[in-house]
Homo-oligomer: A and B are copies of this chain.
Amino acid sequence: MAEMYSTPHEILYYEADVTGKLSLPMIFNLVVLSSTKQSVDLGVGPKFTHENGVGWIILQEDMKINRRPVDGEQVILQTMAKEFNPFFAKRLYRILDQAGNVLVDVDAFYTMVDMEKRKVARIPQAMVDAYQADQVKRIPRLAEPTKFEEGMEADQVQEYAVRFSDIDSNQHVNNSKYPDWMQDVLGADFITSHEPTAVNIKYEQEVRLGEYVRSEVKIVGNTTLHQIWANGTLSAEAEITWTEL
């Protein structure tokens, strides 16, 4: 049974959005930060994966947001490797406040890829051992986000040129940029009058520098259904639940 890893973090002003709360895209960066730190501590961090020619790819994140912490707030980032099989891994993430309340809770589903061949690779046994994850035959998939089907008419659409700063050291668009494009297409009036309470996002295809993406959204009551397209290919889809402020 894996142990929970904890690391403290202070919300910095440039991690907050116009409301002074931790921005939605930055929540995605902060949760991954905890597993990166855990991996480095256990000797199976980026150096290890690079040397082994492999890399983690996030397939899906299912997130509940109880409260977004504010600029200057001290939080605790937690993570635990839950279940591994030879090709897939499930990880739990949490952001806690100083009183131990769960602010954000995430189930994440990963696969490992051969960085050169860009296809699924076997997870090195040394990693499974380091994380002390439960080794299972089959990992139950996460619930799918409600589909925004191709052909449904989008309520709002916006195109974005991928910027150099959108690319991370994996040479593709950082996964925090998808929620960035997904919230932006809703417009300032919607985002500043609604608080996100849940995000279920599936990453389908990586996006690279020099590409243009199209962010499409269908608004269904307090739920928004999202698709991100690049070069005619579906790159990500998501369902976001909101509370009106």
Contact = CB atoms under 8 A, between A and B. Distances in A.
Interface of A: 12-14, 16-20, 23, 25-26, 29, 32-33, 36, 40, 46, 71-72, 158-161, 163-165, 167-169, 171, 174, 176, 180-181, 183-184, 188, 191, 209-210
A189 to B, nearest CB: 10
Residue with the greatest number of chain B CB neighbours at <10 A, chosen from A32, A33, A72, A174:
A72
14 contacts: A13-B32, A13-B33, A14-B32, A14-B168, A16-B169, A17-B164, A18-B167, A18-B168, A18-B171, A19-B169, A25-B165, A158-B161, A165-B180, A167-B188
Contacts of A16: 168-169
B180 A163 contact: yes
A73 B163 CA distance: 25
Contacts of A180: 163-165
Contacts of A25: 165
A142 to B, nearest CB: 23
Given A160-B161, A188-B164, A209-B188, A33 B12 contact: yes
A161 B164 contact: no
Nearest to A192: B164
Instruction: Kindly list the 8 A-B residue pairs having the minimum CB-CB distance in the complex, ordered from nearest.
Output: A14-B29, A164-B184, A163-B184, A165-B180, A18-B167, A188-B209, A20-B169, A13-B36
Contact of A164 (B18, B32, B33): B18
Nearest to A28: B14
Contacts of A36: 13
Contacts of A160: 161, 163
